[in-house]
């Protein structure tokens, strides 16, 4: 008899688990169907890129993007839409930059350069000096003051094109842009030229933020296109005495008031457990910020839209956040985490989409415990959509939540083309594919639905 009851019990447990996963797989199917058949995110992205355009922190366009995304979320019938005030850096690029190689015979060759974000300008006259090429910060340090003083330093280490995960290649070359200017200034350099961080060889300079160190003289710095970098390097080998000239009029103004934009569906059973999904609303001033990161913003709003439109009443609270100022300060992300702590909010997961709106390859989970749970329970549900659960995940804007023990996750996409466009004038709406964008929203909505239903 005992065995009989045990078998019955096992049968009931198994069949309810089966029924549950059937419901979950049909829910996921509905989410994907709706995302692909009513591609709202794509429409919103077009507005963000083509009607508003570049949205650098502190600019009028950044404010328009705040107003626009708030307005969209106001129409979705959410439980709460609100702004979080945040003071942001207010850097202005100024005039179009000039870059020029001047050989020993005084012949001039124009090359395309752009000021690095947060840099000081050269002043209206520009600067002209001998230029010395290095491949790394270490090589620069070894040269020492005698070889660097009074010169412009040219950092020319390419991104490692053999890396399949292009973000690793970006990470591997990024120290030149971030720390190069201050390290060069310590040795008496008067300016810095950095090879653009991209895997392609083209004529678009890629901007990006530098970080000046405290108590080190601030010197001007520009990024040169990869074609320009190759040319400069070649000419330097033939004519080491050549000079380089550049002119930038960028400047940092006092901080400006801006906002994170937040929309929320309250949980029906555990409203105090919050799942946050987000992207960053600001973009570089050169770029329309399509892949970086308009796509992450509209996908995050789309997660709420899909859940609402399907009549799903999530058990836990789901929030979409448009973070402000990821590009040149991360103030929005820092402020969000600060307020979460201050208000005693319990975040059980944070997911960011900031790798471009390309084909989803995985849902990345940067927390061991959460990865084990998600992998074991739900990986199968994503197989039909060719999305795997990966144990690498996170994002800049959500990273300040790590101190509060929040598992960080990301939409991991095919990143092969991302750095072709990243931080340039060609990061435009036409580079985003409707289906790829919508698949990303659906993948995140699927995972968030499951977490909201069962917790972590
Ligand atoms: Zn970004």
Strand (E) or helix (H) holding 154: strand 152-155
What would the pLDDT profile of 318-349 be if each residue is shown by its tens digit? Answer: 999 999 999 999 999 999 999 999 999 999 99
Distance 347 CA to ligand 1 centre (A): 22
Query: What was the pLDDT predicted at 17?
Result: 57
Query: What was the pLDDT predicted at 6?
Result: 58
Distance 22 CA to ligand 1 centre (A): 36
Report yes or no: 281 and 83 within 8 Å, Cβ to Cβ: no
Query: What was the pLDDT predicted at 7?
Result: 57
SS3 441: helix
Helices within 187-313 (DSSP H only): 226-238, 295-309
Pairing of strands 152-155, 191-195: parallel
- Strands of 388-390's sheet in order across: 80-92, 251-265, 316-323, 270-280, 346-352, 408-413, 360-365, 388-390
Query: What was the pLDDT predicted at 4?
Result: 56
Given a cut of 90, whether residue 15 has pLDDT beyond it is: no
Given a cut of 70, whether residue 19 has pLDDT beyond it is: no
Distance 152 CA to ligand 1 centre (A): 29
Helices within 257-323 (DSSP H only): 295-309
Distance 456 CA to ligand 1 centre (A): 27
Query: What was the pLDDT predicted at 5?
Result: 59
SS3 39: coil
Cα(16)–Cα(11) distance, integer angstroms: 8
Query: What was the pLDDT predicted at 350?
Result: 98
Active site includes 388? no
Cα(195)–Cα(23) distance, integer angstroms: 52
Report yes or no: 109 and 339 within 8 Å, Cβ to Cβ: no
Angle among Cα 107, 110, 116 to the nearest 5 degrees reads 135
Query: What was the pLDDT predicted at 403?
Result: 96
What would the pLDDT profile of 286-304 be if each residue is shown by its tens digit? Answer: 999 999 999 999 999 999 9
Cα(261)–Cα(247) distance, integer angstroms: 37
What would the pLDDT profile of 355-405 be if each residue is shown by its tens digit? Answer: 999 999 999 999 999 999 999 999 999 999 999 999 999 999 999 999 999
What would the pLDDT profile of 137-162 be if each residue is shown by its tens digit? Answer: 999 999 999 999 999 999 999 999 99
Cα(399)–Cα(397) distance, integer angstroms: 6
Mean pLDDT to the nearest integer, 41-45: 97
Where residue 410 falls among pLDDT bands split at 50, 70, 90?
very high
Cα(110)–Cα(249) distance, integer angstroms: 18
Tokens of 18: 């089966």
Report yes or no: 101 and 244 within 8 Å, Cβ to Cβ: yes
Query: What was the pLDDT predicted at 2?
Result: 53
Cis, bond preceding 342 (omega within 30 deg of 0): no
Where residue 9 falls among pLDDT bands split at 50, 70, 90?
low
Residues of 31-51 as b/e, b for ≥16 C-beta within 10 angstroms?
A: bbebbeeebbbbebbbbbbee
CA dihedral sign of residues 352, 319, 310, 371: positive
Which has the minimum average pLDDT: 14-28, 75-89, 219-233, 353-367?
Answer: 14-28
Report yes or no: 408 and 278 within 8 Å, Cβ to Cβ: no
Looking at every residue in the chain, the average pLDDT score rounds to 96
How far is the CA of 197 from the CAs of 54, 109, 167, 340, in angstroms?
Answer: 20, 22, 11, 34
Bridge partner residues of 223 (DSSP): 114, 194
Given a cut of 60, whether residue 113 has pLDDT beyond it is: yes
What would the pLDDT profile of 243-285 be if each residue is shown by its tens digit? Answer: 999 999 999 999 999 999 999 999 999 999 999 999 999 999 9
Angle among Cα 225, 231, 236 to the nearest 5 degrees reads 125
Can you tell me which residue has the tokens 């030149």? Answer: 176
Where residue 20 falls among pLDDT bands split at 50, 70, 90?
low
Distance 325 CA to ligand 1 centre (A): 10
Where residue 428 falls among pLDDT bands split at 50, 70, 90?
very high
Query: What was the pLDDT predicted at 11?
Result: 52
Tokens of 300: 């995050």
Q: Rounded to 5 degrees, what are φ and ψ at 109?
A: -125, 120
Among 326, 327, 345, 352, which one carries the catalytic annotation? 326
């Amino acid at each position: 008899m005992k065995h009989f009851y045990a078998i019955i019990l096992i049968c009931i447990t198994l069949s309810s688990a089966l029924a549950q996963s059937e419901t979950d797989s049909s829910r996921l199917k509905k989410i994907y169907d709706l995302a692909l058949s009513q591609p709202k995110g794509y429409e919103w992205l077009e507005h963000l890129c083509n009607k508003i355009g570049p949205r650098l922190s502190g600019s009028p366009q950044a404010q328009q993007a705040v107003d626009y995304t708030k307005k969209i979320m106001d129409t979705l019938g959410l439980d709460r839409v609100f702004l979080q005030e945040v003071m942001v850096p207010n850097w202005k690029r100024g005039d179009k930059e000039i870059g020029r190689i001047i050989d020993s015979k005084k012949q001039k060759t124009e090359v395309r350069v752009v000021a690095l974000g947060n840099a000081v300008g050269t002043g209206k006259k520009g600067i002209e000096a001998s230029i010395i090429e290095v491949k790394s910060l270490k090589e620069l340090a070894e040269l020492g003051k005698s070889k660097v003083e009074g010169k412009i330093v040219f950092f020319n280490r390419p991104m490692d094109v053999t890396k399949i995960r292009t973000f690793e290649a970006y990470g591997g070359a990024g120290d030149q842009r971030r720390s190069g200017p201050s390290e060069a200034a310590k040795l008496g350099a008067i300016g810095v030229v950095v090879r653009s961080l991209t895997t392609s060889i083209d004529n678009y300079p890629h901007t990006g933020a530098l970080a000046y160190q405290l108590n080190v003289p601030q010197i001007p710095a520009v990024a040169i296109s990869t074609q320009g970098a190759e040319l400069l390097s070649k000419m330097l080998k033939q004519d080491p005495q050549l000079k380089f000239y550049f002119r930038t009029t960028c400047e940092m103004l006092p901080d400006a008031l801006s906002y994170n934009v937040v929309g929320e569906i309250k949980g029906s059973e555990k409203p105090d457990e919050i799942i946050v999904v987000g992207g960053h609303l600001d973009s570089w001033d050169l770029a329309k910020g399509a892949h970086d990161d308009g796509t992450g913003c509209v996908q995050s709003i789309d997660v709420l839209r899909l859940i609402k439109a399907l009549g799903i009443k999530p058990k836990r609270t789901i929030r979409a956040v448009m973070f402000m100022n990821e590009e040149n300060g991360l103030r929005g992300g820092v402020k969000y985490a600060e307020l979460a702590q201050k208000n005693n909010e319990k975040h059980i997961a944070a997911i960011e989409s900031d790798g471009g709106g390309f084909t989803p390859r995985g849902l990345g989970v940067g927390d061991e415990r959460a990865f084990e749970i998600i992998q074991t329970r739900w990986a199968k549900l994503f197989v039909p959509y060719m999305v795997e659960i990966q144990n690498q995940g996170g994002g800049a804007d959500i990273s300040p939540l790590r101190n509060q023990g929040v598992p960080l996750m990301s939409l991991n996409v095919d990143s092969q083309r991302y750095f072709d466009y990243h931080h340039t004038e060609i990061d435009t709406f036409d580079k985003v594919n409707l289906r790829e964008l919508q698949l990303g929203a659906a993948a995140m909505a699927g995972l968030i639905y499951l977490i909201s239903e069962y917790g972590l």
